[in-house]
Structure 1
Amino acid sequence: MRIYISADMEGITGLVDAADVQPGGRDYERGRQMMAEDVNAAVRGAIAAGATDIVVNDAHGPMRNLVPEALHPQARLIRGKPKHMGMLEGLTPEHDAMICVGYHSRAGTLGVLSHSFMGHEIEDIWLDGRPVGEIGLAHATAATLGVPLVALTGDDSACAETAAWDDSVTTVAVKRAHDRFAAELRPAAEAHRAIEEAVITGLSAGKRKAPTPTSDSATLTVRWQSASVASTLLGIPGVTSVDSRTIETHGQLTSLYRLFGIWMRVAASLTNQPPYC
């Protein structure tokens, strides 16, 4: 059984603030350690469920957060950037299941460190008219490849967002959001046991199921904080304007996911916004 793990950082056990998840932050080194512990709990669960091949994609920020030596020895690590598929780099139809560790809720929700990919630079995203964030877009793209998302960890807001998207996904709330930078934390040892057990449950034959088929063509719509970003992106063939700050395009979802990564790189070149201001 081949398992793919996408590891973000905002939804990791114990982390609540930008200083926990940004390089140079006061508690970033501790955050890296906590990230490795959550990921390793997921790896242990996958092995217990019968996984024979496990790849972990470091999917947060610079994508060099996980210290390779801290990762479970039975998992391989995809590290660094740029990555053509960003948070889903390395995911292929050959994988039997996907697990998301440390994910967070989308922009506009009252979740810990909530945002959609680029801090406040992206105000909203819609997939075929449905509001979506990193969770929904990862789920839908994996489904297009035929890979089910079977387990996800994060705060209670991320878990609720996942359940609204697909209630068959096994979720683990490692903290309960009090506000965007405050949470009630689950004890680390308890959270790690829960992650391991959730992965075992999610990968069990009775729980794992083929994803709902997706159409060959999807519509991706993004509303930016800056009209300058939207205007510049209109220079890309196939991108059209909805209004002065909102653009959209159509295509096969895996291609749209890669294209969206290009949009973000253009936006980053035009703006210099810290991600959680």
Structure 2
Amino acid sequence: MRIYISADMEGVTGLVDADDVQPGGRDYERGRLMMAEDVNAAIRGALAAGATDITVNDAHGPMRNLLPEALHPAARLIRGKPKQMLMLEGLTSEHDAVLCVGYHSRAGELGVLSHSFMGHEIEDIWLDGRPVGEIGLAHATAAAIGVPVAALTGDDRACVEMTDWDASVTTVAVKHARDRFTADLRPADEARAAIEQAVAASLAALPKAPAIDPAPAPATLTVRWQSASVASTLLGIPGVTSVDARTVQAEGALPSLYRLFGVWMRVAASLTNQAPYC
């Protein structure tokens, strides 16, 4: 069984603030070790379910957060950027399941460190008219590749967002949001035991042949930016159209549309230089 882990950081056990998850933050070094422990719990759960091949993609920010020496030796690590497939770099149809570890709720939700990809620079995203964030877009893209998401860990709001998107996905709440930078924390040992157990159970329950049709289907991705300058510049990319002064959209099939979105973000990053959590 081949397992793919997409590891974000905002939804990791114990982390609540930008200083926990951004390089240079006063608690970032502790945060990256906490991230490794949550990922390692998921790896142990996958091994217990019979996984023979495990790939971990460091999917947060600079994508150099996980220390290779802190990662369980049974897994391979994809580290660094740029990545054409962003949070799903390295995922192929040969994988049997995706595990989303340390995920967070989308922009506008009152979850811990909630945002969509670029802090406040992206205000809203819609996929076929449905509000979406990193959770829904990762799920939809993985489905287009032909791989089911088996489990997700994060705060309670991230878990609700995943359940609303696909109720069959097992979720583990490692903390409960009180506000965007405040949470009731689950004890670390308890949270990691829950991750390990939930991952093992979710993978053991996977159908032998996932009921996912990987045939590409047309989709529409719409993004509202904080800056009209970003939206205007993106109109220079073929296929991108304007909805209003700050909103653009494009049509295509996932996962190609997901790769295109990555290009949009690189353009936006070249035009802006704002800290994400403000």
Q: Is the pair's TM-score, using the shorter chain for normalization, greater than 0.5?
A: yes
Distance 2:39 2:248 in 1: 35
Distance 2:71 2:102 in 1: 15
Distance 1:174 1:188 in 2: 8
Distance 2:107 2:209 in 1: 29
Are the structure 2 counterparts of residues 194 and 239 from structure 1 closer, same or farther at C-alpha, using a change threshold of 3 Å?
Answer: same
Distance 2:5 2:80 in 1: 15
What residue is the counterpart of 1:268 in the other structure? Answer: 269
What residue is the counterpart of 2:183 in the other structure? Answer: 183
Distance 1:71 1:48 in 2: 17
Runs of 4+ in 1 over 2 A off after TM superposition: 205-215
Matched, 1:72 2:72: yes
What residue is the counterpart of 2:231 in the other structure? Answer: 230
Count how many residue pairs are aligned between Structure 1 and Structure 2: 277
Matched, 1:115 2:115: yes
What is the one-letter code of the residue matched to 1:216? A
Distance 1:206 1:115 in 2: 30
TM-score computed with the length of structure 2 as normaliser: 0.98
SS at match of 2:101: strand
Report how far residue 206 of structure 1 moved.
Answer: 5.2
Question: Is the 1:230–1:246 Cα contact (8 Å) retained in structure 2?
Answer: yes
Report how far residue 211 of structure 1 moved.
Answer: 4.9
SS at match of 1:120: helix
Distance 2:161 2:205 in 1: 24
Matched, 1:2 2:6: no
What residue is the counterpart of 1:194 in the other structure? Answer: 194
SS at match of 1:26: coil
Where structure 2 has 5 or more consecutive residues not aligned to the other structure, the ranges are none
Distance 2:125 2:201 in 1: 31
What residue is the counterpart of 1:29 in the other structure? Answer: 29
What residue is the counterpart of 1:151 in the other structure? Answer: 151
Q: Deviation digits for residues 51-98 of structure 1, max 9, x if unmatched?
A: 000000000000000000000000000000011111100000000000
What residue is the counterpart of 2:251 in the other structure? Answer: 250
Distance 2:186 2:205 in 1: 29
What residue is the counterpart of 1:44 in the other structure? Answer: 44
Identity %: 79
Distance 2:258 2:12 in 1: 24
Distance 1:21 1:197 in 2: 26
Report how far residue 202 of structure 1 moved.
Answer: 1.0
Where structure 1 has 5 or more consecutive residues not aligned to the other structure, the ranges are none
Distance 2:206 2:78 in 1: 30
SS at match of 2:119: coil
Q: Deviation digits for residues 9-50 of structure 1, max 9, x if unmatched?
A: 000000000000000000000000000000000000000000
Question: Is the 2:57–2:90 Cα contact (8 Å) retained in structure 1?
Answer: yes
Distance 2:208 2:229 in 1: 44
SS at match of 1:55: strand
